[in-house]
Amino acid sequence: MVPAPRFVPPARWEPLPYLVLVVLLVLTGVIRPESGPWYVLLVVAIVAAAAWILVLFLRERRMRNPDPMGDLSTLDGLAVVEAPAVASAVRTVVPVIDVHRHQAAIDLARLHGGVDQHAVLVPRARRWLSPRYRIGVQLVGDPTPRHAGFLGDAADARWRDALDRERGRGRYVRVPAQVTGTARPYGVELDLSGLEAALEA
């Protein structure tokens, strides 16, 4: 069983082609036209780096759901697996991290969906420019999914591989969620008590 990847492949990490292009442009100050074949090779490399950036840009512009950051635009067309709460002797409510970055989205989700709603777990989500994959949390009490943050490290390590396998089958898991607090800054807690049973079904 292949474990889920932890990081974005280097060739797909957004800053890399720009960094390569900057280095090549700096080299134009050292390698001059009179350098002969070296200068031709440098020009070819610059053109290739520019083409790489263009390909990445066009790929990012394509409508995908979830998008490369793991954000959902809609639940339409997605296979959603329900993981309702179950009675458990062990506390299985986990806080969502990075909520401070997504207060506006959480506020909208709370406004339209209430305090108690659901969230869809999206593996291979990440922050902009970050090479690290995480499990994203999308609140779906509103018809428009709202990114609330990510699972913490312990929960990520526990569920990463299983959720990634579901993603490979085109399936995403929906769990109970609660928006905590009566005003900003809000928190979000997830009840993962039914997650194991849902993944084994």
Give 79-88 pLDDT, tens digit per residue. 999 999 998 7
The tokens for 109 are: 């989700």
- Whole-prediction pTM: 0.86
Q: Which amino acid is at 178?
A: Q
Q: Rounded to an integer, what distance in angstroms lies between the CA atom of residue 69 and that of residue 175? A: 20
Where in the chain are the domains?
Answer: 10-61, 79-200
Give 131-182 pLDDT, tens digit per residue: 999 999 999 998 899 999 999 999 999 999 999 999 999 999 999 999 999 9
C-beta separation of 191 from 175 below 8 A: yes
Give 48-71 pLDDT, tens digit per residue: 999 988 887 777 666 688 998 999
